[in-house]
Amino acid sequence: MPETSAPPDEPVTAGSAPVPPGQPPAGPDAGPDGPVRDPRLAAERVLPLRHPWRWVLTAVVLVLVAQFVHGLVSNPFYQWSRFSYWLFRPVVLDGLVITLEVAALSAVAGLVGGVILALCRLSPNPVLRSVSWVYIWLLRSVPLIVVLLFLYNFSALYRTLSLGVPFGPSFFRFDESHLATDLVVAVVGLSLNEAAYAAEVVRSGVLSVDQGQHEAASSLGLPRGFQFRRIVFPQALRVIVPTYVNQLIGLVKSTSLVFYVSLLDLFGTVQSLGSTYPGDVVPLLLVATFWYIVLTSAVSVVQFYVERHYSRGALRTVPPTPLQKVRSGIRGARARIAIGAGI
C-alpha cells in the first residue's frame, strides 16, 4: 500500500499540491502557483511613501516661478504692447529668414566638411591625418567672431584668388571682392567653425562601432569604401546624429554673430531697429529672444525624436513621447485617487 505525506486528519484532494510547513493552506483566493492572495492583506489600505521635503522644494520652486511671472507681467518696462507690435513685422521676419538660411547652409556644409575631416583624421596617411588635426585644433582654438572678422577683411590680404600651379601659371582667377558677399562670408565662416566640431562628432561615432564589425567586414573581402558606407557608417549614425543635432542648437545661436560682418539677420535687424527706436530696445530684444527660443525648441523636438529613433537598437523600450508621458501621468493620478478613496 503506498504511503502519503498528508496528516491522517486532513482530507487529501486529487491534484492538490502539498502545503509546505508553516504556510497557510491554499484557499479559494489562491493563485495558480500557490497561496499568493490573503484576504486579510487585501483588506489593508496601501499607503504611498511620503516625501515631505520634496513637497517643500516644489512649493519653493512654484513661489519663485510665480514671482518671475509676476515681474514679467507687472513691470511696465517690458512694454508688452510694443513686443506684440514688433513680433510679426515684415522687417523682423526678413531677418528671421536670413537666420534660417545661414543656419541651414552652414549646417549642411559643416557636416560635409566634418565627415571629410574625420575620414582624414582616421586615415593611415600621415599627411592627411596631420593636416586634419591641425585644422581641427586651430578652428576650435580661435573664437568664431575672430574667424568671421578675418574673412570679412580677407579682401585686404588677397584682392584676387586664383587656381593653378603653385609658383607657376594660374588657370582661373577670381575677384575676391565680388565673390565674397556678406552672405557668403557668414556661411563660410560658420561652416569652417562648424566643420571642426562636426569632425570630432563623426570621428567619435566611427570609433564607437565595435572593432569586431570592422574585422568581420574585412574578413569578407569587401572594399574599404563599401565597408564604410554600408557597415560602419550606418552604425556610427546612432552616435553621430543625436550629438550633431545638439550641435545645431549652438549653430542657430551662433548666427547672431553674422551681424558683425554687415549681414542683417534676426539679431542684426533687432539691433538696427533698436538704434532707430531707442525706446523699444527691450521689446525688440524680447522679440529676438522669442524667435530664438522658437528655433531652438524646434531643433530640440527634432533631436528628441532622432534620439528616440536611434535608441531602438540600444534600449529595451524606447523613451516615451510627451503625449505618452501625459497619459501615463493621468493614469497614475487616477490610480492614486482610487487608492485614497478606498475603491
Instruction: Extract the C-alpha cell encoding 40.
Output: 486579510
Burial class (CB within 10 angstroms; exposed 0-12, middle 13-18, buried 19+) of 175: exposed
Question: What three-state secondary structure class fits 273?
Answer: helix
Residue 43 is predicted with a pLDDT of 67
Question: What three-state secondary structure class fits 315?
Answer: coil
Q: Which of 6-10, 227-231, 278-282, 291-295 has the highest mean pLDDT?
A: 291-295
Question: What three-state secondary structure class fits 172?
Answer: strand
- What's the DSSP call for residue 1? -
Q: What is the pLDDT of residues 41-62, one digit of tens each?
A: 666 767 777 888 999 999 999 9
Residue 198 is predicted with a pLDDT of 92
- The DSSP code sequence of 232-289 is IHHHHHHHHHHHHHHHHHHHHHHGGGGGGGT---HHHHHHHHHHH-GGGHHHHHHHHH
CA-CA distance, 293 to 287, in Å (whole number)? Answer: 10
Helices in 167-208 by DSSP H: which ranges? 176-179, 182-208
163 φ/ψ sector (left φ>0, alpha ψ -120 to 50, else beta): beta
Phi and psi, residue 242, nearest 5°? -60, -40
Whole-structure pTM value: 0.72
Whether residue 15 has pLDDT greater than 60: no
For the ranges 18-22, 57-61, 263-267, 313-317, which has the lowest average pLDDT? 18-22
Residue 295 is predicted with a pLDDT of 92
Instruction: Extract the C-alpha cell encoding 125.
Output: 596617411
Residue 147 and residue 192 in contact, taking contact as beta carbons nearer than 8 Å: yes
Average pLDDT (156-167) is 74
Residue 169 is predicted with a pLDDT of 72
Q: What is the pLDDT of residues 168-190, one digit of tens each?
A: 777 777 776 677 788 888 999 99
Question: What residues does 161 pair with on adjacent strands?
Answer: 174
Burial class (CB within 10 angstroms; exposed 0-12, middle 13-18, buried 19+) of 99: buried
Whether residue 290 has pLDDT greater than 50: yes
Question: What three-state secondary structure class fits 6?
Answer: coil
181 φ/ψ sector (left φ>0, alpha ψ -120 to 50, else beta): beta
Phi and psi, residue 163, nearest 5°? -115, 130
Residue 279 is predicted with a pLDDT of 87
CA-CA distance, 154 to 38, in Å (whole number)? Answer: 84
Residue 181 is predicted with a pLDDT of 83
Residue 35 is predicted with a pLDDT of 53
pLDDT band at 341 (very low <50, low <70, confident <90, very high): low
CA-CA distance, 16 to 20, in Å (whole number)? Answer: 12
- Residue scoring higher pLDDT (293 or 169): 293
State the residue for C-alpha cell 512654484.
62
Instruction: Extract the C-alpha cell encoding 128.
Output: 592627411
Residue 5 is predicted with a pLDDT of 43
State the residue for C-alpha cell 491534484.
15
Residue 8 is predicted with a pLDDT of 44
Residue 17 is predicted with a pLDDT of 47
Whether residue 63 has pLDDT greater than 90: yes
Average pLDDT (117-130) is 91
Residue 20 is predicted with a pLDDT of 52
CA-CA distance, 232 to 245, in Å (whole number)? Answer: 20
